[in-house]
Amino acid sequence: MTKADGYHEPEVLKQYIWKFHRDLWTEDERLAEQAILYEAMFAPRSPNSNPDPRLVRERRKYANNAFVWQMIEQGYEYLKAYSRDRILRESPSELYIHRCPACHRVLASPEAQQCLWCGEDWH
Ligand SMILES: [Zn+2]
């Protein structure tokens, strides 16, 4: 599916949904996103050093949440792909994907009036 110009629909959809449809993310997905960012910011420098108190405090929110720990393990891009797939499966009707009228590719934003892929312009 990847064309010479770099368009790869699953990747483009992943970023689009992450940027513009955070409203469809679950509480757990939001928590996992926050956790991934905190873990990255405050992770202990070495396995033997004490974790930053801010991280300790934050971890109370997801200490027993297996989903969040799984996402921390897999990483941010995995979480975005996970939520994309879940939203496409569970609530496709709530999803507004703005596509180019000419090439039908996913546009840069819901308000875009120009296609960055084929150059179509409908200002
Ligand atoms: Zn286009």
Question: What is the token pair recorded at 39?
Answer: 């873990």
Tell me, in angstroms, the distance from the centre of ligand 1 to residue 115's CA. 5
Asked if residues 100 and 120 have their Cβ atoms less than 8 Å apart, the reply is yes
Residue 66 included in any domain: yes
**Six token digits for residue 111:** 């308000």
**Distance of CA 8 from the midpoint of ligand 1 (Å):** 14
- pLDDT at residue 111, rounded to an integer: 95
Asked if residue 64 belongs to a domain, the reply is: yes
* DSSP state letters, 6-38: ---HHHHHHHHHHHH-GGGS-HHHHHHHHHHHH
pLDDT at 45: 78
Output the pTM of the full model.
0.88
Contact (CB, 8 A) for 107 and 99: yes
pLDDT tens-digit map of 45-65? 787 888 889 999 999 999 999
Per residue of the chain (123 residues), what is the pLDDT tens digit? 455 688 999 999 999 999 999 999 999 999 999 999 999 999 877 878 888 899 999 999 999 999 999 999 999 999 999 999 999 999 999 999 999 999 999 999 999 999 999 999 998
Rounded distance from Cα 106 to ligand 1 centre (Å): 8
88 within a domain of the structure (yes/no) = yes
Domain annotation covers residue 5: no
Residue 8, domain member (yes or no): no
Q: Is residue 119 part of a domain?
A: no
- The answer to whether residue 120 is domain-embedded is no
Write down the pLDDT at residue 112. 96
Distance 91 CA to ligand 1 centre (A): 25
Distance 121 CA to ligand 1 centre (A): 8
Predicted local confidence at residue 3, as pLDDT:
55
Residue 95 CA to residue 66 CA, distance in Å, equals: 27
The answer to whether residue 36 is domain-embedded is yes
Domain that holds residue 55: 22-94
Tell me how many domains the chain contains. 1
